[in-house]
Amino acid sequence: MNFSLIWPEVLIAALGFIILTVDLVLPRSQERRRNVVTGSIAAAGMLAILVFSIFYLRGRVGVLGADLYLADRFALAFKFMFLGAGIAVVLMSIEYVGSRIRHPGEYYALLVFSVLGAVLLAGAGDLLVAYISLELLSFSLYILVAMSRGDRRSAEASTKYILLGALSSALMLYGISMLYGPSGTTSFRGLAGFLFYNFSPTVAVGFALFVAGLGFKLSVVPFHLWAPDVYEGAPTPVTAHISVLSKAAAFALALRFFIEAGSPTHERWALALAVLAALTMAVGTLTALPQRNIKRLMAYSSIAQVGFVLMGIVANTPLATDAVLLHLAGYAFTNLAAFMAIIALEHRTGNEEIAGFAGLAARAPFAAMVLSAALFSLAGLPFFAGFVTKFYLFTATADAGYIWLVVVAVLGSLISLYYYIMVMKQMYMGTAADGKPLAVSRLTFATLLLLFAGIVAIGIYPAPFAEALESATAVFAPFAGR
Amino acid sequence: MFSEWAAWAIIALPLAAFAINAFIVRPLGAPAARLAGYVTVTALAVTLVLSVLALMAVQDAHGTAGYEPHLWFAVGPFDMTIGIFLDPLTAIMLIVVSSISLLVQVYSLGYMRREPAHGGHAAEERAVHAGAAHAHDAHGHGGDAPVGDGVSREHPYADYPRYFAYMGLFTASMLGLVLSSNLIQLFIFWELVGLSSYLLIGFYHWRPSAAAAAKKAFIVTRIGDFGFLLALLYIFSHRAELMAAGLNPFDIRDLHQAAPLLGPGVVTWIALGLFAGAVGKSAQFPLHTWLPDAMEGPTPVSSLIHAATMVAAGVFLMARMFPLFEESATALNLIALTGGFTALFATSMGLVVHDIKRVLAFSTVSQLGYMMLAVGVGAPVIAMFHLFNHAFFKCLLFLGSGSVHHSVHTFDMRKMGGLKRWMPVTYVTVLIGAISLAGIFPLAGFWSKDEILVAAWEGDTVGRLVFLFGIGAAFMTAFYSFRMIYLTFHGEFRGGIDAVPMAERIPDEAHHAVHRHESPRVMTTPMVVLAGAAVLSGIVANAPFDLGIVPAHWFAHFLEEEAPHFNWPIAIVSTLVALGGIGLATLMYRTNAISAEGMALTLKPFHVLLSRRYYMDELYEGLIVRRVLYRGVFQAADWIDRHIVDGTVDLAGWLGRNTGRAMAQVQTGQVQLYGVGIALGVVVILLVLLTQGGG
């Protein structure tokens, strides 16, 4: 096996341990310093690995074991996305962790391990590798959710997350065993042919259970019920992390599984997934309407977004796969920008209620502007990433013949505009009880500016992003039925 | 070789001037306000240099500098591209736009400087108007202190930042329009030109008349733009044919070859749609009504709109897409007739107006008519030649009218007279502009007007007809050009603003008084430069014989057209006609051998018809807008909106909220229930899986 292909993964793991060690060495009394040092190591380390991967992995592609682990362009694209998102989450955490989280070293180390889990997931070409990577990601997240200091909601959310996560993980493992039993293989590519000839009820049960486990990670309706409670209870940077990293990682797995293992049997599973997509869009959008808490609102909003992306997997055409990747990239910028702005505003006002955002445009005009841009992007309005990526996604889905699904998606987008604009209405039309300007730190400002630039860049000039991602999805070219 | 970066910089520099003035200079307030002018002037000076380099590069390359378009976004097989299309036509337009804009900006440095106030009353009144400005433009001015543009209105440079920011945007939009390689890209800049002209015409937005004029310009041109948009959609609906031939449906170079693929019927509709856009932008009949009202903007803005930026866009579009138009005789005939009719129709209205800027405005409409006429008879190069010449002398005439206003503070020619005594530079330069406008040998206007008439004469029946229109318009143009000269500069001075009763003055100008002085040098210098161009541009750029440095018919050859030949009979006829017009004006307004008032009385019905501009405004506003649209369409739409649309929306909202509430009820926080959800989900997936394909 050619282990030189997984140097970036090894380095990410090493980075996690380095952070833990540094945390041990630094005196416990200097909590502030520990936070800044370990946070900086995490951000700088991931940036260094990102840059290293760009040069190191150029032209280096290959497979480890018999389809166990795939170091291809698709995995590489997600590697960049996860490391980038990880850096952004660390940057938005530094201020927050200082006052609200007890163990900064462990916090950053767990963030790095969750990134590692996600990166491995994107490269998994085998059900078991996928399962283990998913568990690494999930366990890191279970702990991260519980880390809020003295907040009972945080502990409660984590407990729920663990219980339901364990249930769905058990279902998934059970599904894997039912697929492995009759087929004798756990590799995606190996399963493809088997599924095509032997889609017996037993295999169907295995397939359904695996999809259910995946659906939990993706928070697809009706496996989504954990999401709002966890989003609300988790420390806000962790919420951002779950909404971007764990979603995108699960989608990387879903894309790989449904394309490599599922393409020949597309007609069998497409309708089931289409029903789930429609349900997810409808429930996510409608339940978001009466929400009062910004984090719960973002939870339902990201559930609805999952429904949109799922359409691309249902369509299962090269165009749709490109669209899914582009949408995930745009969504990563957008959601990170939204959460960054929410943290900047919420951290100082201490108020998570949407009503508490009243008059913030006057107090922190830049953060309010970025949040508005991100919300417009989520709603899919022009000049922002969401418009272009949704346009690609909807076009691809319609081209594949799922017009009814696109109709649901368009209606969902339309309704979603309402609750996004309600937040903006509070910020711009509402009056704050306290009119003093909110200070936004230089670090926050710079990160916000960078994310905002990303949203606008994809929204105005998507071609370079789309072209880069097309080279990533080219790895799926050989799969039949596409 | 002219790199593509330099071409993009031509757009980016004025845009940067806009951004710097809007986001840096303006927030800095009074101390920095003066810088705004220098920012835009510097940016445009560099732009002009780049434009000259672009022209030289195109000249050396003997044709198009080929830049590959860039992919903007792609949906399936359709690629939306953006890029730079730099051919001789673009190169000429770049020179026109950037040189005219630069001169106008320099002039504006003087013109837009406010004069110190003359006492308490005026200051008080202006403060009131500054307050009104607040209300109109709340988002732009909202938090600024103390009034208006963040600078006290008493400040001499109070108008600078906003004015020069808009001017940068305006110029950048027009430069972007002429450089576009894609029709959608061109349309985006086309709309930006519309937007920035709206902002500039309404620059004095606290004056109700300016706000109304800006709105009118925007809405009337939008009617034409709708045609443009329909043409774009129509092209898109035929994308399959074009893409099958390996062409990009919106790439301008590809569209030039598209006519045979689309067939004459489709091409005609596309051409008519594009022409509708040009009719709006270039103020052709019946969408000409916005241009005379657009005088409400600051005079340098009018100068820029009339010479190089806004109205030139329509003619440019015709020339740019000419290979498509060429394939449709129907479209060309309609264009020729519209142009010829507009030329005649607009000049007739110019005969009777008293406002010097409106005389010029009607002359622009009619000169644009000439250009359209030239396109219609199949001579886009001659149309461009006229646009080129017209840009210089029309810009000059407007700057002259601004200079006159600087002294007498009115545009009403009835209050002028004898100004040549203290405005020698303005007098001489405006006189040169007027002779050029009248089309007298050997000034610029003569050459291109003559070529247009020759081209028309050599056409078919339609050509002969529009030739007659053109001759008629030439006579009246010469007449009102000299009527303007005589009324403004000759005879006795009739008092300027001092003769206007207080009640009739525009509040902003109420405090002004006549200053018998020539305008400052910053204003007269651009006029002198333009006067030089007005004399020479025709003879030098497209000389009928070799001039040594410039070869004969350089302009036409540059645009890859055969040289137009000189037609002695037509040249003599048109010159005689123009001299006749001047002679009549001399008799009526200089020697008073014929009484102008007497003439007006004798021909009263005509005079009234012309003064009311053929009642076109009344027709649009009174009949179409008020009666048909307002009473009929809008009220019906209102009813439908209130009862049906709102009802549906309310119902949908109620449903959505309540379904949402019901769904949120599931979210009890009980883990057991969540587990049930997961189990249910598995069952649903399994059921659907098993029903599909009979597992």
In this predicted model, what pLDDT tens digit does every residue of A109-118 receive, in sequence order?
A: 999 999 999 9
pLDDT at residue A315, rounded to an integer: 92
Cα–Cα distance for residue pair B287/B225, rounded to 1 Å: 11
pLDDT band at B563 (very low <50, low <70, confident <90, very high): low
Say which range, A166-170, B241-245, B475-479, B617-621, has the weakest mean pLDDT: B617-621
Cα–Cα distance for residue pair A362/A341, rounded to 1 Å: 14
Percent residues over pLDDT 90 in chain A: 61
Helix, strand or coil, per DSSP, at residue A293: strand
pLDDT at residue B638, rounded to an integer: 80
Instruction: Examine the pLDDT at A141 and tell me if it is beyond 70.
Output: yes
Across the interface, whether the CB atoms of B682 and A225 are under 8 A apart is answered: no
pLDDT at residue B157, rounded to an integer: 78
Across the interface, whether the CB atoms of B689 and A269 are under 8 A apart is answered: yes
pLDDT at residue A253, rounded to an integer: 95
A281 within 8 A of A409, measured Cβ to Cβ: yes
The alpha carbons of chain B give a radius of gyration, in whole angstroms, of 28
Taking CA atoms, what residue in A is nearest to B652? A415
CA-closest candidate to residue B371, choices B396, B392, B340: B340
Instruction: Examine the pLDDT at A482 and tell me if it is beyond 60.
Output: no
Query: C-alpha angle B500/B502/B505, rounded to 5°?
Result: 70
Cβ-Cβ contacts under 8 Å, A269 against chain B: 689, 692
A84 within 8 A of A61, measured Cβ to Cβ: no
A289 within 8 A of B656, measured Cβ to Cβ: yes
Say which range, A476-480, B418-422, B453-457, has the weakest mean pLDDT: A476-480
- Given CB atoms, is B685 within the 8 Å cutoff of chain A? yes
pLDDT at residue A41, rounded to an integer: 95
Across the interface, whether the CB atoms of B693 and A216 are under 8 A apart is answered: no
- Given CB atoms, is B667 within the 8 Å cutoff of chain A? yes
Across chain B, how many H-helices and E-strands are there? 33, 2
- Residue B257 or residue A481, greater confidence: B257
Nearest to A215 among B70, B681, B686 (CB): B681
pLDDT at residue B80, rounded to an integer: 85
Across the interface, whether the CB atoms of A200 and B666 are under 8 A apart is answered: no
Nearest to B685 among A201, A272, A319 (CB): A272
Instruction: Examine the pLDDT at B145 and tell me if it is beyond 50.
Output: no
Smallest CA–CA separation between B689 and chain A, in Å?
A: 6
Instruction: Examine the pLDDT at B146 and tell me if it is beyond 60.
Output: no
Cα–Cα distance for residue pair B472/A250, rounded to 1 Å: 77
Percent residues over pLDDT 90 in chain B: 11
Across the interface, whether the CB atoms of B671 and A272 are under 8 A apart is answered: no
Average pLDDT for chain B: 81
Looking at beta carbons, which pairs linking A128-132 to residues 24 or more positions away fall under 8 Å? Answer: A128/A176, A128/A186, A129/A68, A129/A69, A130/A253, A130/A257, A131/A169, A131/A172, A131/A173, A131/A176
pLDDT band at B142 (very low <50, low <70, confident <90, very high): very low
Q: Alpha-carbon dihedral of residues A380, A384, A390, A395, nearest 10 degrees?
A: 120
Cα–Cα distance for residue pair B190/B312, rounded to 1 Å: 11
Residue with tokens 């989608």: A251
Token readout for B130 is: 């500054």
Instruction: Examine the pLDDT at A456 and tell me if it is beyond 90.
Output: yes
Cβ-Cβ contacts under 8 Å, B72 against chain A: 461-463
B272 within 8 A of B233, measured Cβ to Cβ: no
Chain B 19-78, CB below 8 Å of chain A: which residues?
70-76
Across the interface, whether the CB atoms of A223 and B677 are under 8 A apart is answered: yes
Q: What is the separation of C-alpha B6 from the centre of its chain, rounded to a whole number of angstroms?
A: 25
Cα–Cα distance for residue pair B305/B298, rounded to 1 Å: 11
Cβ-Cβ contacts under 8 Å, A390 against chain B: none
CA-closest candidate to residue B684, choices A278, A178, A335, A362: A278
Each residue's pLDDT tens digit, A82-101 = 999 999 999 999 888 888 88
Nearest to B72 among A159, A391, A463 (CB): A463
Cβ-Cβ contacts under 8 Å, B673 against chain A: 225
Instruction: Examine the pLDDT at B147 and tell me if it is beyond 60.
Output: no
Across the interface, whether the CB atoms of B678 and A271 are under 8 A apart is answered: no
Q: From the CB of residue B399, how many other CB atoms can be counted at a distance below 10 Å?
A: 31
pLDDT band at B150 (very low <50, low <70, confident <90, very high): very low
Cβ-Cβ contacts under 8 Å, B685 against chain A: 208, 211-212, 215, 272, 276
pLDDT at residue B1, rounded to an integer: 62
A219 within 8 A of A165, measured Cβ to Cβ: no
Residue B562 CB burial class (10 angstroms; 0-12, 13-18, ≥19): exposed
Across the interface, whether the CB atoms of A225 and B692 are under 8 A apart is answered: no
Residue type, B393: F
Across the interface, whether the CB atoms of B693 and A211 are under 8 A apart is answered: no
B633 within 8 A of B624, measured Cβ to Cβ: no
Model ipTM over 0.90: no
- Residue B637 or residue A21, greater confidence: A21
Residue A474, phi then psi, degrees to nearest 5? -60, -20
Across the interface, whether the CB atoms of A291 and B73 are under 8 A apart is answered: no
Helix (H) or strand (E) holding B679: helix B671-691
Smallest CA–CA separation between B162 and chain A, in Å?
A: 22
Instruction: Examine the pLDDT at A163 and tell me if it is beyond 50.
Output: yes
Instruction: Examine the pLDDT at A314 and tell me if it is beyond 90.
Output: yes
Each residue's pLDDT tens digit, A434-448 = 778 888 888 899 999
pLDDT at residue B115, rounded to an integer: 60
pLDDT at residue A193, rounded to an integer: 87
Residue with tokens 């005589």: B486
pLDDT at residue A78, rounded to an integer: 94
Q: From the CB of residue B245, how many other CB atoms can be counted at a distance below 10 Å?
A: 12
Helix (H) or strand (E) holding A469: helix A463-473
pLDDT at residue B121, rounded to an integer: 35
- Residue A116 or residue B615, greater confidence: A116
> Helix crossing, A247-256 with A318-349: angle to 10°?
170
Cβ-Cβ contacts under 8 Å, A225 against chain B: 666-667, 673-674, 677
Each residue's pLDDT tens digit, A254-276 = 999 999 998 888 888 999 999 99
Q: What is the pLDDT averaged over residues A219-223?
A: 91
Across the interface, whether the CB atoms of B76 and A399 are under 8 A apart is answered: yes
Helix (H) or strand (E) holding B536: helix B521-541
pLDDT band at B151 (very low <50, low <70, confident <90, very high): very low
Going B405 to B407 to B408 to B414, the CA torsion angle's sign is negative
Each residue's pLDDT tens digit, B367-419 = 899 899 989 888 888 888 888 888 888 899 988 888 888 888 888 888 888 88
Helix, strand or coil, per DSSP, at residue A171: helix
pLDDT band at B622 (very low <50, low <70, confident <90, very high): low
Helix, strand or coil, per DSSP, at residue A115: helix
Cα–Cα distance for residue pair B81/B73, rounded to 1 Å: 7
C-alpha to C-alpha distances, A289 to A6, A410, B584, nearest whole angstrom = 45, 16, 76
Task: Reduce the secondary structure of A172-241 to three states and give it as a string.
Answer: HHHHHHHHHHHHCCCEHHHHHHHHHHCCCHHHHHHHHHHHHHHHHHHCCCCCCCHHHHHHHHCCHHHHHH
Instruction: Examine the pLDDT at B538 and tell me if it is beyond 70.
Output: yes
Helix, strand or coil, per DSSP, at residue B238: coil
pLDDT at residue A87, rounded to an integer: 96
Say which range, A104-108, B416-420, B678-682, has the weakest mean pLDDT: B416-420
Strand partners for A64:
A69
Q: What is the pLDDT averaged over residues B200-215?
A: 86
pLDDT band at A362 (very low <50, low <70, confident <90, very high): confident
CA-closest candidate to residue A144, choices A118, A169, A110: A110
Token readout for A224 is: 């989504």
- Given CB atoms, is B688 within the 8 Å cutoff of chain A? yes
Cβ-Cβ contacts under 8 Å, A466 against chain B: 73-74
Give the number of A-B residue pairs with CB atoms closer than 8 Å: 119
Helix, strand or coil, per DSSP, at residue B182: strand
What pTM, to 2 d.p., does this model score? 0.77
Cα–Cα distance for residue pair B315/B281, rounded to 1 Å: 9
Q: What is the pLDDT averaged over residues B150-166?
A: 73
Q: What is the pLDDT averaged over residues B628-637?
A: 75
pLDDT at residue B587, rounded to an integer: 82
pLDDT at residue B137, rounded to an integer: 39
Across the interface, whether the CB atoms of B684 and A222 are under 8 A apart is answered: yes
Instruction: Examine the pLDDT at B141 and tell me if it is beyond 60.
Output: no
Q: What is the pLDDT averaged over residues A401-411?
A: 93
CA-closest candidate to residue A71, choices A142, A129, A154: A129
Cβ-Cβ contacts under 8 Å, A461 against chain B: 72-73
- Given CB atoms, is B668 within the 8 Å cutoff of chain A? no
Q: From the CB of residue A446, how many other CB atoms can be counted at a distance below 10 Å?
A: 11
Pairing state between β A69-71 and B70-75: unpaired
Cα–Cα distance for residue pair B471/B458, rounded to 1 Å: 14
Smallest CA–CA separation between A357 and chain B, in Å?
A: 21
pLDDT at residue B406, rounded to an integer: 84
pLDDT band at B133 (very low <50, low <70, confident <90, very high): very low
Instruction: Examine the pLDDT at B508 and tell me if it is beyond 90.
Output: no
- Given CB atoms, is B689 within the 8 Å cutoff of chain A? yes
Q: What is the separation of C-alpha B587 from the centre of its chain, rounded to a whole number of angstroms?
A: 35
Instruction: Examine the pLDDT at B358 and tell me if it is beyond 90.
Output: no
Pairing state between β B70-75 and B78-82: antiparallel
Each residue's pLDDT tens digit, A372-393 = 999 999 998 888 999 999 999 9
Residue B146: cis peptide before it, omega within 30 degrees of 0: yes
Q: What is the pLDDT averaged over residues B264-292?
A: 88
Nearest to A275 among B688, B690, B693 (CB): B688
Cβ-Cβ contacts under 8 Å, A226 against chain B: 674
Percent residues over pLDDT 70 in chain B: 90
Token readout for A256 is: 């790989």
CA-closest candidate to residue B564, choices B555, B574, B573, B577: B555
B319 within 8 A of B385, measured Cβ to Cβ: no
